Structure 1
């Protein structure tokens, strides 16, 4: 199948789209990544989206407008990918949508909400769309995240005993391979770094470009100790979190009573991300960490992470054939392919679900959609074709 994968993560900066040619041969999924593009959200839409996120409060009219506008923007990205990578046609779109709320209570996930109405994508592209991936895993008593866990386990099958995939987006998550695989959110990735920059610049700047502020600053050990006292870091796995917890209001509360310069604050929350990733991985003893996501473009963060991880080798997904910015969109393209073939897209050890489940909802395209007539071979590994 020629699949377009669409993803917008917890940094809410825009949409990543990939074109992937996917085939299942025996027990191996073969993926040829045809191309990758990114489309930023229009400024007005991004501002309205960010204002709607926790701890903001919005009405249902705003939810409706956002669902429509995000769906239309995802449709634009899908059309661009369809023409750029496949000459104007494809077989399927897999759309993650935009997470606006992940409902966690007492360590259990009760629900999740991704906006980006798939009907707009199906109508404008004429293709069937798989969307709303997370809800079925949650209904099966899972965390609904990290859903890239199954992709990571297939992709890293056959590598060293404890190879680990790390994604540093707004939230950081890991998948650790081995006899007893595990996947979970370690805590903030870029979320508190971005919040610190916005707070310290009065909203003029939104991110620490190339880690320059963190590089200029000094780590405030007292502030770091306060930040590390957050109970989430000691919660058992599997576990997930989001900007419902790690947001600007959270940082403002923690900073109350701490006197530190702007650059020192940014340096300290950057150290927090590196520290909490390394702390989470320490008992799992990974042999290598393969990183992706926007955080790898922050050299200060990556240097701190390398120092905290010690002798564990840190490399990027680019070295293994997947551009870091395209990793999650590629994963959801594969999850959409699995859904279209009636195959489970979650892994019980990664999300804590009670069973493996076929994920998502299908919005038929112009030609309709034919469900598979019988189960096919369950994949055991994933390879990348040149």
Structure 2
């Protein structure tokens, strides 16, 4: 089965697409990455998305407009991907998270926009979407959903092992010590990107150059590390409803002006410290790193320095290109849903049980899905 995974993360910069050819051999799922690409959002649409993020208030008219425009942009990406990679049997679209409603550590709801009917109409194939809500309804965090991919991918590594994704938010999956555990550790690029945009007008600190030229401000770092979220026990999840530009501005208010280089160095240290604390707490011996933050040498070098004795390797070494991992994760979730298999692990999300994820928008003609499987794969292996 060929599945197209579509995703846009908390950096809100592009739609990631990955076409994966899946085949099941006994209890091992083999995935061949046929095509992967990132399609930047149109500048005007990205600006509208950013304007709608917390803590800003938005109207229902704005929500309706964004749901449509994001859905059309996802459909454009899907069509371009199929033109490059050939037909697919199914699409799984994560859409764009606009709000993750967390109240005292409990996820009450989650909102991803990007109406899937635009994709189904454009390609004529079924689309799985709204993949987080079933887990939330079952008492889970609805995140990190990449934990399904991580646990299957890490099954061949000597434990305890972990997978770290450095997107706008950093999330960690840990295996090899009983049931798998997964949670958001805190910000990865979210606050650094906000600081880079405010200080330079550019959306991010390319290759960590500005952070490399700066010095960590100990007082600011201590204030940032006092955030109560870091001391919550997993399962837990967060996003830009907490770690946004105004959150950072609040910490900077009343302090002497800080050069952007020093601010970025401090924020990189914040991410490295919170990640390293989580990895040490789980006693991990190896860490598979992916996401945009994996290309920031300041960040990865600091994580490595804080974790002596822990082997760091990119997901590319396991046949899964770092930049494509999130989109591949949603292709995998689509495959699980199509085969009637739960896409969540209760120990990772905190739900009372595994749930088949999402809702399905039919394409053209009758909806036909594979026969449900009675058992889930125990491992996954990927190649390009």
Shorter-normalised TM-score: what interval? over 0.9
The residue aligned with 2:202 is: 205
Q: Is contact 2:159–2:286 with CA below 8 Å preserved after alignment?
A: no
Map residues 69-218 of structure 1 onto 2, 5 A cutoff. Answer: 69-86=69-86, 89-178=87-176, 179-201=178-200, 204-218=201-215
- Contact preservation (8 Å) 2:93, 2:129: yes
Between 320-329 and 368-377, the greater mean CA deviation after superposition = 368-377
For residue 370 of structure 1, report the CA deviation from its aligned partner: 2.6
What is the correspondence of 1:1-386 to structure 2 with a 5 Å cutoff? 1-86=1-86, 89-178=87-176, 179-201=178-200, 204-259=201-256, 260-372=258-370, 374-385=372-383
Secondary structure, counterpart of 2:78 in structure 1? helix
Query: 1: distance between equivalents of 2:353 and 2:342?
Result: 9
* Runs of 5+ unmatched residues, structure 1: none
Asked if the contact 1:66–1:115 (Cα under 8 Å) also holds between the matched residues in 2, the reply is yes
Provide the secondary structure at the position in 2 that maps to 1:157: helix
- Deviation for aligned residue 1:247: 0.4
Q: Is the 8 A contact 1:170 1:189 kept in 2?
A: yes
Cα deviation, residue 28, structure 1:
1.5
The CA deviation string for residues 84-112 of structure 1, in whole angstroms up to 9 with x for no partner, is 112xx210001010000000001110000
Tell me, in whole angstroms, the C-alpha distance in 2 between the residues paired with 1:377 and 1:385: 23
**1:99–1:246 CA distance, 2 compared to 1 (3 A):** same
Separation in structure 2 between the aligned mates of residue 385 and residue 325 of structure 1, nearest angstrom: 14
Are the aligned partners of 2:225 and 2:270 in contact in 1 as well (CA < 8 Å)? Answer: yes
TM-score normalized with structure 1 length? 0.97
User: How many pairs are equivalent?
Assistant: 382
**Deviation of residue 372 (structure 1)?**
5.0
In structure 2, C-alpha distance between the alignment counterparts of 1:368 and 1:301, rounded to whole Å: 49
Residues 168-209 of structure 1: CA distance to partner in whole angstroms, max 9, x if unpaired? 0000001011123210000001000011112223xx222111
Q: Distance in 1 between matches of 2:4 and 2:16?
A: 10
Cα distance in 2, alignment partners of residues 37 and 368 from structure 1: 30
SS in 1 for 2:284: coil
Q: Deviations over 1:2-34 (max 9, x none)?
A: 111101000000101011001223222110111
Root mean square deviation, CA, Å: 1.1
Q: Which runs of 5+ in 2 are unaligned?
A: none
Q: Distance in 2 between matches of 1:270 and 1:230?
A: 16
Partners of 1:140 and 1:9 in 2: CA distance: 23
> Quick one: distance in 2 between partners of 1:313 and 1:223?
30
Partner of 2:242, secondary structure, is coil
Deviations 1:250-288 (A, max 9, x none): 000011222222211111011101110001111111111
Contact conserved, 2:107 with 2:140, CA < 8 A, in 1? yes
| 1:311 Cα offset (Å) | 1.9
Moved over 6 A (4+): none
Contact 1:143 1:352 in 2 (8 A): yes
Distance (whole Å) between structure 2 residues aligned to residue 34 and residue 55 of structure 1: 39
1: CA distance, partners of 2:365 / 2:272: 48
Distance 2:316 2:336 in 1: 24
Deviations 1:31-62 (A, max 9, x none): 01111011000000000000100111110111
Residue range with higher mean Cα deviation, 151-160 or 38-47: 151-160
Contact 2:320 2:383 in 1 (8 A): no
Q: How far apart, in 2, do the equivalents of 1:212 and 1:258 lie?
A: 24
Per-residue CA deviation, residues 225-264 of structure 1 (Å, 9 max, x unaligned), is 0100000000010000000000000000011222222211
Tell me if structure 1 keeps the 8 A contact 2:162–2:174.
yes
CA spacing shift, 1:211–1:338, aligned 2, 3 Å: same
